Structure 1
Amino acid sequence: MHTNTVSRRTFLAASLCLPAIDFVRAYSPPQLTAGQVIDRIKTNVGIPWREQTVDKLIAGTPDTPVKGVASVMMATLDTLKRANAKGLNMIVTHEPTFYSHQDRIEPIEQDGLYQLKRDYIQQNNLAVFHFHDHWHGFKPDGIATGMIRQLGWEKNRDAENPRLFTFPQTTLARFAQGMAAKLNIQTMRVIGDPQLSVSRVMASWGNVSLMPGVPFLAQADVLVVGETHEWELVEYVQDAISSGQKKALIILGHLLSEQAGMKHCAEWLKGFIPEVPVEFIASSEPYWRPDQPPK
C-alpha cells in the first residue's frame, strides 16, 4: 500500500511538470545566430548595403550560434584567442583576417600559418565578420568618431571639414606627445621640426597614399595618418620641409590610428544585440622600441 501511494504521487508530480517543461521549450527564445547579427548590422548601419564590398562573413556560417560578440580592429590569432577565452565567438573585425584587404586565401592556401589560424577558428566554432566599408560609410564615419572621442578633439573639429582640426598654438613635439599619451602609442613616428608651431591639423585615419595626402597637407601645419608608403608621402613631406615649407607629418601606425573606432563600434552593437555579451577587445600594437622592449 505504501509503495503504491508513493508511485501515484511520483506519477502525479511528473504529470504536473510536463506542461511547464513544454511551455519553456515552446516559448524559449531561439539561439542568436551569426546571420541574425549581420542582418541587424545591415539594418542599423543606415546606408544601403553595397553589392561590391569586403564586408562579409569570412569564417563560420550564418547558422553559427552566437554566445558573445567581440569588436576588434584586427582579427589576429592573439585577438581571436582572447575573444574566445571570454566566450565571445563572433568576431566583428575592421581589418581582414587572412592578410589581404579582400581576404583572398588563394595565395596562402598551402601556408602553414594560414592553415593553423583557419583550423583554430573552425575548431572553436568562431564566426568572423569583416566590417570595414560600411563602418566608414556610417554617418558620421564610425572609425573617425571613435578616434576623435578617444583623443578628445570634438570641440576642435572644423564645421566644414570633418578631417580638419584647430588647436591653440603649440609645438609639434608637444602636440605629438599629447597624442601618443591619449592613444598609448609606443612607436609613433614624426617628421618635422620639433619646435614647429602648429595649430591646424589634418587627420586621415588608416592608410593614406600620395593622393590625397598632398592636398591634405596643403590645408594644415601637420598631417596625421596611420600609415603611408615611405617613398611617396614621406618623401614628399621631407622635400616640402627642405624647400622651406613649415610642414610636418605624424605616423601613428595603422592599428592605433583606427582602433578606437572599433571601441565605438562595440558600443553601437550593444544597442541592438541585447541577447549576448558584446565587448571591445583591443589588438596589441605590433611594434616596440629597442629602448623599451615589451615585458
Structure 2
Amino acid sequence: MTTLNRRTFVAAGSAFAANLAFSRTDLAQAQLAPSGQLTAGEVIDRIKKNVGVPWFPRTVDNLLTATPQTQVKGIATTMMATLEVVQHCAEHDLNMIVTHETPFYLHQDHIEDIKSDPTLNYKLDYCKQRDIAIFHFHDHWHAHHPDGIAQGMVAQLGWQKNVVDPANPKKLQFDGIPLAQFVDQMRQSLNARSIRVLGDPALPVHNVTTSWGYMGRESGIPVFASPDTEVLICGETREWELVEYCQDSIRAGNKKALIVVGHVLSEQGGMILAADWLKSFISEVPIKFVPAPEPFWIAGQPPLNT
C-alpha cells in the first residue's frame, strides 16, 4: 500500500499486536546472541537507526512471528510473505523475512476474527516450527527519503532519467512514446502477465504520475484530472470508483490513460532495493530478495509453474 494516509499509523495495541508483535522495550533488550550470531531484534534495531526517519509511535512495522532473540541465519526481503515465499525462505535458510505487505491478510495484522482459520494456523505453525521471524516493513520504507518503494520501482523499470524530481520519484516525463509500446516495455521489465490499461493505444506518453500499490478515488480523481497527468499508473484500485471515473474522463474527450499494474508487481521493485539497502549495514548473514509471484493467471493462458 503506497499511500500512508489510507492505512498506516495503526494502533499497536491491537489484539494481534498484543499476541504476536513485540514492544520497543523487547527490541531494545534484544542484543546479539551469546554466540555472536545476529538476532531478529538486532536487525530491527539497525533498520530503525538507518531508515532516516523517527520511528512512528503507531505503525504496522512490527515483528509478527518468532521473537527478538531469534537467531538469524539469513534475511529475505519480499513484497508479500505468502506461504509460497515463506516455504522458499525456509528451504534456503532465510529465516528472517522483511515483508512490505502483511503476511496475515489484513494490513493491520489483526487476526482475532480468523484466529481459528485452518489456513492462518497452518502458516503460523509452519513459521513456529521453522523459527521464521517475519517483520512487516511498510510505513517507514514509504517514509524513507526518497520513498523506498517508488525509488525501487523507478530502478526496476529503468526510469531514472525520467524522474522529474529526485526527491519525489513518483512523477516522470517521457518523450511521447505511444501508450501501447510504453506498457509493453513495462510488461517486459516487470515480467508481468496481467497489466490492464484504459486509454488510446496510440496516445503519446509525456507526463506520468505513479501511485505504486493501492490508490483510492479520493486521491486518485484529483491526480487523474490534473493537467500535469497524462498517464496515471497504480497498483490496484476499485473498478466501480476510480476506474469508472477514468473511463468517463477519457470518454468525455480527455487524452489520458490509466495503467493498473497489480499490487504485488507495482511495489516489488521497492523490496529489491530494500535488500541492497539492508546489505549496507548488515554483513553477518546472507541477504536476498525473494519475489512474490504475480497472483493471477489469465483465462486462455496456462498458469506459470511456481
TM-score normalised by structure 2 residue count: 0.85
Q: How does 1:133-152 map to 2 (within 5 A)?
A: 133-152=139-158
Q: Which residue of 2 aligns with 1:279?
A: 288
Paired residue secondary structure (1:285): coil
Amino acid of the residue matched to residue 234 of structure 2?
V
- Determine which of 195, 213, 226 is the counterpart of 2:235: 226
**Are 2:169 and 1:162 equivalent residues in the alignment?**
yes
- Distance in 2 (CA, whole Å) between partners of 1:110 and 1:29 is 37
Aligned length: 268
- Distance in 2 (CA, whole Å) between partners of 1:144 and 1:198 is 19
**Are 2:228 and 1:199 equivalent residues in the alignment?**
no
Amino acid of the residue matched to residue 197 of structure 1?
P
Paired residue secondary structure (1:187): coil
**Are 2:181 and 1:174 equivalent residues in the alignment?**
yes
Q: Which residue of 2 aligns with 1:35?
A: 41
- Distance in 2 (CA, whole Å) between partners of 1:158 and 1:36 is 37
- Distance in 1 (CA, whole Å) between partners of 2:204 and 2:137 is 38
Q: Does the CA contact (< 8 Å) of 2:75 and 2:288 recur in 1?
A: yes
- Distance in 2 (CA, whole Å) between partners of 1:142 and 1:205 is 11
- Distance in 2 (CA, whole Å) between partners of 1:40 and 1:163 is 27
Q: Which residue of 1 aligns with 2:262?
A: 253
Displacement of 1:162: 3.2
Amino acid of the residue matched to residue 226 of structure 1?
G
Sequence identity of aligned pairs in percent? 53
Displacement of 1:59: 0.7
- Distance in 2 (CA, whole Å) between partners of 1:180 and 1:65 is 39
- CA offset digits 1:155-176 (Å, max 9, x no partner): 1111385321111112111111
- Determine which of 267, 272, 291 is the counterpart of 2:276: 267
- CA offset digits 1:90-120 (Å, max 9, x no partner): 0100000100001101111011100100100
Displacement of 1:259: 0.3
Q: Which residue of 2 aligns with 1:238?
A: 247
- Distance in 2 (CA, whole Å) between partners of 1:163 and 1:72 is 21
Paired residue secondary structure (1:236): helix
TM-score normalised by structure 1 residue count: 0.88
Paired residue secondary structure (2:234): strand
Displacement of 1:294: 2.0
Amino acid of the residue matched to residue 36 of structure 2?
P
Displacement of 1:240: 0.2
* Structure 2 residue runs without a partner (length 5+): 1-33
Displacement of 1:272: 1.2
* Structure 1 residue runs without a partner (length 5+): 1-27
**Are 2:120 and 1:114 equivalent residues in the alignment?**
yes
Paired residue secondary structure (1:59): coil
- Distance in 1 (CA, whole Å) between partners of 2:186 and 2:169 is 18
**Are 2:98 and 1:92 equivalent residues in the alignment?**
yes
Q: Does the CA contact (< 8 Å) of 2:151 and 2:169 recur in 1?
A: no
Displacement of 1:198: 1.9
Q: Which residue of 2 aligns with 1:208?
A: 215
Q: Which residue of 2 aligns with 1:153?
A: 159
Q: Does the CA contact (< 8 Å) of 2:154 and 2:169 recur in 1?
A: no
Moved over 3 A (4+): none
- Distance in 1 (CA, whole Å) between partners of 2:185 and 2:102 is 30
**Are 2:111 and 1:102 equivalent residues in the alignment?**
no
- CA offset digits 1:17-71 (Å, max 9, x no partner): xxxxxxxxxxx85121111110010011111000000000011110111111010
Bigger Rg, which one: 1
